[in-house]
Amino acid sequence: MKKRTSSKKIATIFVSLFMLAAVIFASIHLLALHTRQIPPLLQAPQWETAVRNAKTKYEAQLSYDEQAHTICGHETIHVNNTSAEDWGTLCLNDWPSSDVFVSSPCGGSTELTNCTISTDAGSYAVEPVRSDGVPSAISVPLASPLPAGESLQVDMDMVIHIPQKYDRFGYTETACNLGSFLPQLALWKNGEWVIHPYFEGGESVASECADYSVTLTAPKNLTVICTGESTTEHGVTVANASHVRDFCMVIGKGWHKVERQHGNVRVRSYYKRNSIMGYEALSAAVDALSAFGSSIGAYPYSTLDIVETGIWPGGIEFGQIILINHAIYAFSSDFFHGYTHDFFRLLVAHEVAHQWFYGVVGNDQYDDPWIDEGFATYLEHVYADFVGIHHPIGYVEPTFRLDSSVQELNKGEYASYIYTAGGAFLAELRETWGDDAFFSLLRDLYTHHGFEVIQTNDLLMEIREHSPEKSTEKTQDLISRYFHR
Ligand SMILES: [Zn+2]
């Protein structure tokens, strides 16, 4: 009996000590959370080259017919030949006319009429020619070549047919998504126009940053969310965006909106029913802006919108706007508090990361798909460390080389390899170099290649130049493991 009493006392003391330790641990943890220093945002780089270069400008006056599922109107493209070569023809991307949209219910496509070219010498009509093999590529013949450094104006009327499709371009019961819908000057790279087919398993677009000024007339009961600063009055939306990689609009109704000012950026989350998810999207986007803004450089635009809509697969990025699959918002709260909670926040952070890599530091998503996806995947971990989410690196032995184009990969390889191995390469680089050299690379890429399109060769050159001297050999070993170089 005494012995039992004595054991009980020891047990009570042990439990008390354990609880005291737990309370101290929890207090320290909470204190750490409350006192966590939010690192200051870095200054936005000056991007002198980009500001000096006169970018292409797009102006469009459009109207949306909700019943016919069409966008009609006029587009003017102020083309500046910023390359070093003369352009004998122009090439436009017309993604709505890709096979995948043409063959969808209600069929997507663009009809172009009344196309004219204007130069200092006068105006003339031209007949655009659609490429046989790649219907999304349109060649615009010129009466005389456009010399390097010179400019001209292209004008055209158009009717854009919107298919019924859960995609970046298409309408569903939730909204009408207009991603990459305007005829847009193709990318001029290595002395020729870049012509890629649409890749349904991922992304295959490539474009220079440009300025957009778009007016859209739509039924007054609809909400228009789009790239850039916009106002809507009496059904007329006027939008302006500068130095963006592309222009996107989402048109629909029934959204709730929550917003927060983050420094100079107005962050807005548009959701339909699940307010928990709507707030989570806003909070994840704000934290991602802090995480990337303090480690790479400030977000250079004044707005960022996260929109719940009917797309495939989870999320997709456009200039200043991110679309997230509405099915994810429909998960129950119980499910949301489990695995999905972190998955959703990481998904939003991934798409926000594309504003840095793809948006500002651009790449050809068909020829160099690993660049934007690898960096965005790695930046998920930077975000996860920032907010305290457990998100282990997915190390994979690279069976394909990262400098494989979309053409060389099937959908499964693209999904599992480009993202995971791209992120793993950057993780290994950081482990080899240390934080200072690694984040110096990210900051310099952002500063020196902002508003440009970077290719794998240039990027690997930057990586070799940023490698600490003691790591030169290990850096080359890493490059040889992950690339054909
Ligand atoms: Zn991505």
38: left (phi over 0), alpha (psi -120 to 50) or beta: beta
Tell how far the Cα of 121 is from the centroid of ligand 1, in angstroms.
Answer: 44
Tell me what pLDDT residue 32 has: 40
Tell how far the Cα of 421 is from the centroid of ligand 1, in angstroms.
Answer: 13
Tell how far the Cα of 350 is from the centroid of ligand 1, in angstroms.
Answer: 6
Tell me what pLDDT residue 416 has: 73
HEC secondary structure over the chain:
CHHHHHHHHHHHHHHHHHHHHHHHHHHHHHHHHHHCCCCCCCCCCCCHHHHHCCCCEEEEEEEEECCCCEEEEEEEEEEECCCCCCEEEEEEECHHHCHHHHCCCCCCEEEEEEEEEEECCEEEECCCEECCCCCCEEEEEEEEEECCCCEEEEEEEEEEECCECCCCEEECCCEEEEECCCCEECCEECCEECCCCCCCCCCCCCCCCEEEEEEEECCCCCEEEECCEEEEECCEEEEEEEEECCCEEEEECCCEEEEEEECCEEEEEEECCCHHHHHHHHHHHHHHHHHHHHHCCCCCCCEEEEEEECCCCCEEEECCEEEEEHHHHCCCHHHHHHHHHHHHHHHHHHHHHCCCECCCEECCCCCCHHHHHHHHHHHHHHHHHHHCCCCCCCCCCCCCCCCCCHHHCCHHHHHHHHHHHHHHHHHHHHHHHCHHHHHHHHHHHHHHCCCEECCHHHHHHHHHHHCCHHHHHHHHHHHHHHCCC
Tell me what pLDDT residue 376 has: 97
pLDDT at 346 over 70: yes
Confidence of residue 313 (pLDDT cuts 50, 70, 90): confident
Tell me what pLDDT residue 249 has: 98
Tell me what pLDDT residue 397 has: 75
Tell how far the Cα of 123 is from the centroid of ligand 1, in angstroms.
Answer: 42
Tell how far the Cα of 430 is from the centroid of ligand 1, in angstroms.
Answer: 20
pLDDT at 6 over 90: no
C-alpha 265/C-alpha 292 separation (Å) is 14
pLDDT tens-digit map of 132-171: 889 999 999 999 999 999 999 999 999 999 999 999 999 9
pLDDT at 11 over 60: no
Tell how far the Cα of 129 is from the centroid of ligand 1, in angstroms.
Answer: 32
- The overall average pLDDT reported for the chain is 88
Tell me what pLDDT residue 330 has: 81
Tell how far the Cα of 375 is from the centroid of ligand 1, in angstroms.
Answer: 9
Tell me what pLDDT residue 26 has: 38
Tell how far the Cα of 106 is from the centroid of ligand 1, in angstroms.
Answer: 28
Tell how far the Cα of 371 is from the centroid of ligand 1, in angstroms.
Answer: 10
Tell me what pLDDT residue 1 has: 41
Least confident of 14-23, 90-99, 206-215, 464-473: 14-23
Tell how far the Cα of 485 is from the centroid of ligand 1, in angstroms.
Answer: 25
Instruction: Specify the pTM.
Output: 0.89
Tell how far the Cα of 422 is from the centroid of ligand 1, in angstroms.
Answer: 11
Confidence of residue 40 (pLDDT cuts 50, 70, 90): confident
Tell how far the Cα of 376 is from the centroid of ligand 1, in angstroms.
Answer: 6
Tell me what pLDDT residue 296 has: 96
Tell how far the Cα of 360 is from the centroid of ligand 1, in angstroms.
Answer: 14
C-alpha 320/C-alpha 228 separation (Å) is 6
Tell how far the Cα of 93 is from the centroid of ligand 1, in angstroms.
Answer: 21
Tell how far the Cα of 42 is from the centroid of ligand 1, in angstroms.
Answer: 24
Q: How far apart are the first and last CA of the chain?
A: 78
Tell how far the Cα of 372 is from the centroid of ligand 1, in angstroms.
Answer: 7
Confidence of residue 413 (pLDDT cuts 50, 70, 90): confident
Tell how far the Cα of 377 is from the centroid of ligand 1, in angstroms.
Answer: 7
Confidence of residue 250 (pLDDT cuts 50, 70, 90): very high
What are the distances in angstroms from CA 122 to CA 86, 148, 176, 356?
19, 19, 39, 40
Tell how far the Cα of 148 is from the centroid of ligand 1, in angstroms.
Answer: 34
254-348: CATH number: 1.10.390.10
Amino acid at 203: E
Tell how far the Cα of 220 is from the centroid of ligand 1, in angstroms.
Answer: 34
pLDDT at 458 over 90: yes
Domains 254-348 and 361-482 belong to one CATH topology: yes
Tell how far the Cα of 473 is from the centroid of ligand 1, in angstroms.
Answer: 30
pLDDT at 21 over 60: no
Instruction: State the average pLDDT over residues 93-97.
Output: 96
Tell how far the Cα of 383 is from the centroid of ligand 1, in angstroms.
Answer: 14
Q: Which CATH architecture has domain 47-248?
A: Sandwich (2.60)
pLDDT at 335 over 90: no
Angle at which helix 275-295 crosses helix 435-448, to 10 degrees, equals: 100
Tell how far the Cα of 221 is from the centroid of ligand 1, in angstroms.
Answer: 33
pLDDT at 433 over 90: yes
Tell how far the Cα of 161 is from the centroid of ligand 1, in angstroms.
Answer: 27
Contact criterion met (CB below 8 Å) for 60 and 76: yes
Q: Which residues contact 379 (CB under 8 A, 6 or more apart)?
A: 291, 292, 349, 350, 353, 356, 357
Tell how far the Cα of 316 is from the centroid of ligand 1, in angstroms.
Answer: 7
pLDDT at 229 over 90: yes
Tell me what pLDDT residue 336 has: 52
Tell how far the Cα of 125 is from the centroid of ligand 1, in angstroms.
Answer: 40
Q: Domain segments of the chain: what residues? A: 47-248, 254-348, 361-482
Confidence of residue 280 (pLDDT cuts 50, 70, 90): very high
pLDDT at 79 over 50: yes
Instruction: Tell me which of 36 and 444 has the higher pLDDT.
Output: 444
Residue 111, beta-bridge partner list: 159
Structure tokens at 320: 């200043």
pLDDT at 198 over 90: no
Tell how far the Cα of 404 is from the centroid of ligand 1, in angstroms.
Answer: 16
Tell me what pLDDT residue 418 has: 85
pLDDT at 22 over 50: no
Q: Which CATH architecture has domain 361-482?
A: Orthogonal Bundle (1.10)
> Could you count the other beta carbons within 10 Å of the beta carbon of residue 393?
18
Tell how far the Cα of 89 is from the centroid of ligand 1, in angstroms.
Answer: 32
C-alpha 78/C-alpha 93 separation (Å) is 15
Instruction: State the average pLDDT over residues 243-263.
Output: 97
Tell how far the Cα of 206 is from the centroid of ligand 1, in angstroms.
Answer: 14
pLDDT at 14 over 90: no
Tell how far the Cα of 363 is from the centroid of ligand 1, in angstroms.
Answer: 12
Tell how far the Cα of 171 is from the centroid of ligand 1, in angstroms.
Answer: 22
Tell me what pLDDT residue 407 has: 78
